[in-house]
Every structure is written in structure tokens, then in C-alpha cells.
Amino acid sequence: MYKIIIILALVMSSYAQEEYQLGEGMQVASLPLYVGGYFSSDYKNRDNVISYSLDDIAILGYGDYDKFSYMAEFEYKSFYVETHTGDTVDITKDRKLHTERVYLDYKLNENYMFRVGKYNSPIGFWNLLPVNVLRDTTSSPVSLNILFPKFTTGAGISYSSYNGGETKIDLMLQNNSDLDSDYNNYTVDRHYGFNFSYEKEDYTFKLNGGYFRNIMSYSPIEPDEPHELLVHPQDLYYFLLSGKYDTPNYQLLGEIGTQRKESEFTTNYAGYIQGLYRFSEQHIGVVRLESYDDTLHDMKDDIAIVGYTYRPIYPVAIKSEYQIHSLHLENQFIFSFSMMF
Amino acid sequence: MKKIVIASAVLLFLPLFSFAGEYAVISNKSVKSFSESEIKAIFLKKLTSIDDITLVPVNLEAGDSLRLKFEEKLLDMSFERLKSYWTKEHYLGHRPPVNMKSEESVKAFVKKVDGAIGYINSNSVDESVKVLYKWSD
């Protein structure tokens, strides 16, 4: 934690060319370096298990020079978690500073860009902005955790073109170990995936597919449980289709995906539809219906989520949501406060 | 009598016309012409270069009345929507356009820098810059 405080103190004491705006980071002196960060704290109440946590304390730095640009992000994942189960209180403090993203981009021309490093796999809508303050709800859809590796460590190639609408194609290429493998849902040593997206006016469509090799055990329900090396690594294939209709007043969002081994489906389906209504830019209501059937982790559930978000200004979010699960012991209330700076 | 009536009518309606401002999106002469949707993409940094020229959109300062008119007309986004857009882009490592203090600064910058694009009052436009788009109140 002290490392982040020292870095921020240095930045705050330096002279920046631009006036600071909350949620947009700040420039360090006149260097091609911008720094910012975010944090999240939440309260969860599930079947008489109550937890308070301070997590996702992160600092990020980025910049560009000529055709090169870079991004680095470091994060404390579960900085402080206090769990009350009946009369028992459990406190965990994870003080390891994780490497969330580190990559270098080279922009060849107006269409092509190459990337090396660790980056968010550009799959679906939620994985590109996996930060509480930027999400519509404190929780993310389960499909995000079970279908594909959230991070890719390796190379990436992007093609984009603008002709009235924006077309984007991304290729993800990993043939090595993860950088900071603790900080990924699946631990993979291979990942080859693609993203195709098209955005025009209020509509966005995305199509994703890929292959990865999972080498460690993983529980999406208890992601912080220790992972064990698998005797037989799993070769898994995924496919995800996403669509969004976004207007100033409301947004409709939906995703449906599947995952399989060569011989059988490991996730028969995982998807959701979500409606969001902006009563104003400060007051936002959300309803999400989710369903999934995951045979790899032997989980199946239907979930209805009702949420309300108050944003006094956009980079500050106060959110509450209630989840109703078909597995009724999973019903829970979540309240969170998060900020980007 | 007829001349007096016409003169009075002109004097009566002249202020209405003078309040209807006309504005222009201008660019450096190195830049090709752009459609309205391409101008929006440039100011949202979705379109960042073309024909090997880096595009450099420039804004007036936050709260400037002409900037608000530009954002409402060309970007079709409120101040709050733009704030949410740039907060998300900050996480992705992208910066909003640079700000200039005055229309004179915008015009001088656009004239000097290849790929620069800005917006000013139409009556300040001259041959040193290229007009991409015009609109009025």
C-alpha cells in the first residue's frame, strides 16, 4: 500500500500541463506518462454470512510516444476482507501487489496495431472494463468467470476501420505461462482467440471464439481458493455472442456463450439479458436475468438481479443490488462504494 | 412612408439574425474532408489517423459555450455522457482531446499543426484553414 501512496505523492507534487479532472488521471510533469487509479469497497449479506471488503486498490500508468503506447496497472486484490459467519469473524489481508496489465502497443498505421504483454482479453462487453466503478452493477455476470481466460499474456493484433460504423478485429495469441498467474480466472499456457465487433450509432455486436489450455484447478464460486496443478490439462474451446443497444436514456445488453472440450460441452450455456434505465445521469436502475449450466465445475443456476446506482459524478459510484438465485442459499444483498481517480 | 416601414422592419428583425450564430469545424489544410460522423469519431479518438497523418482534435475549455454547442450538435452527447465516456477511456489508456483557451488559439494551432481539427465562429474563418462542416444555432 505504501508504494502506491509514495507514487501518488510524487505525482501530486509534480507539475502537470493539464488541469486535473477526477476520473481522468493526471500527467506527470510534461512526460508521456499519465497516472490514475481506482478502489472499491463493498458489503455483502448472503444467508447470514456478512462480509466487508476493501479491494481492487489499483494504480495505473500509461502514455504514448510517436507510434508506441504503453499501459501498466498494479493492484491489491483483496486488501482487507472481514467475514462474519454467526459468531465467527474471519479477517484476511492480501498484501501482494498483483500485475493486472502490462503491455506495449505499436500502431503500424490507421488500421493495424500490434501488442505484447499482459492484457484484458477483448472478449464480450464486461471484460474490457472489469472495474467496479465502471460497471453497471457491483457483480459481473457469471459467464464472465467461466467461459474464457480474462487475461492473455503474449501477443495481440488489432485491425480497426471506421466507415460510418466502427469495425474491429482482434487476435489473441498466447503460447507461454501467464504473467502473475494468480491474477487470472483460468491458469493457462496457451490461448488463441479472436474478437469481431461492429458498432454503428446505438448498436454494437460482438462475436468471440477461441481455444485455451487450462493447467490448474479453478472454482468460479470460490476464486480465491488455492489452485492445484491438473494432472491432465484441459483443452477448452469457447464461443460468445454479444449485442448492445445504447441510447441516452436506456440500454439493452445481452450475451450468450458456450464452452466445450473435444468430446463434450463443459458449459452447455451461459448468458444473460440486462436492461438499464437512466432516470438521470446520476440515478440508474438495472435489471439482469442470468442463466448458466456449467458441467466443468458442476454448477447450474438461474439468477435475477435488481440494482440501483447513484453517481453524484460519473467517477464515483454508490451501488446496491439484490440477487435472487434458484439456489436460494446464494441469495444476497450487495452494497458498494467505488471511485476512479 | 413605405421606406420608413421597411427600415423599421429591418431594424426590428436585425437583432434576431445577429443572435443566430454560425460556427465552423476547421482543419489544417493537410487533412482531407470528413463527414459529420467521421468528425464525431475523431473527437472521440476512435479515428486517430488517416493517410499516415495523425489526427489532432482540439477542444475549447470545459464550460465554453461554443464547446457545449459543438458537443451537442456534432457529438450528440451531454457533458455527463462525455464524462462517463472519457472516464472509461482513461482506464483503457486513452486521453481526451487537448484544450485551448480561445478560438484564436484553436485557429492558430489548426493552421500550424498537420492533422489538427477544431471549431470556431464562422466569422473568424479565413483562407489559412479548411472548413469541414458548418452549423448554426
In tens digits, chain A (341 residues) has pLDDT values of 555 555 555 555 555 556 788 888 999 988 999 999 999 999 999 988 999 999 889 999 999 998 999 999 999 988 999 999 988 999 999 888 999 999 999 999 889 999 999 999 999 999 999 999 999 999 999 999 999 999 999 999 999 998 888 999 999 999 999 998 877 889 999 999 999 999 998 999 999 999 999 998 776 666 666 667 787 889 999 999 999 999 989 999 999 999 999 889 999 999 999 999 999 999 999 999 999 999 988 889 999 999 999 999 999 999 999 999 998 688 999 999 999 99
Give the count of domains, chain B.
1
Question: Considering only residues 42 to 81 of chain A, which have any Cβ-Cβ distance to chain B shorter than 8 Å?
Answer: 60, 62, 69-71
Structural domain of residue B76, as residue ranges? 20-136
What distances in angstroms separate CA A27 from CA A8, A15, A38, A102, A188, one per listed residue? 12, 8, 16, 19, 35
Q: What is the CA radius of gyration of chain A?
A: 20
Mark yes or no for CB contact B83/A129 under 8 Å: no
Question: Considering only residues 10 to 29 of chain B, which have any Cβ-Cβ distance to chain A shorter than 8 Å?
Answer: none
Rounded to whole angstroms, how far apart are CA atoms B28 and B56?
Answer: 10
Tell me the pTM: 0.88
CATH number for the domain that contains residue B130: 3.40.190.10
Question: Considering only residues 102 to 131 of chain A, which have any Cβ-Cβ distance to chain B shorter than 8 Å?
Answer: 107, 109-110, 128-129, 131
Rounded to whole angstroms, how far apart are CA atoms B137 and B115?
Answer: 27
ipTM: 0.90
Rounded to whole angstroms, how far apart are CA atoms A43 and A41?
Answer: 7
Residue B69 placed within a domain: yes
Rounded to whole angstroms, how far apart are CA atoms A38 and A23?
Answer: 9
Residue B14 placed within a domain: no
Residue B72 placed within a domain: yes
Residue B40 placed within a domain: yes
Mark yes or no for CB contact B88/A129 under 8 Å: yes
Residue B122 placed within a domain: yes
Residue B10 placed within a domain: no
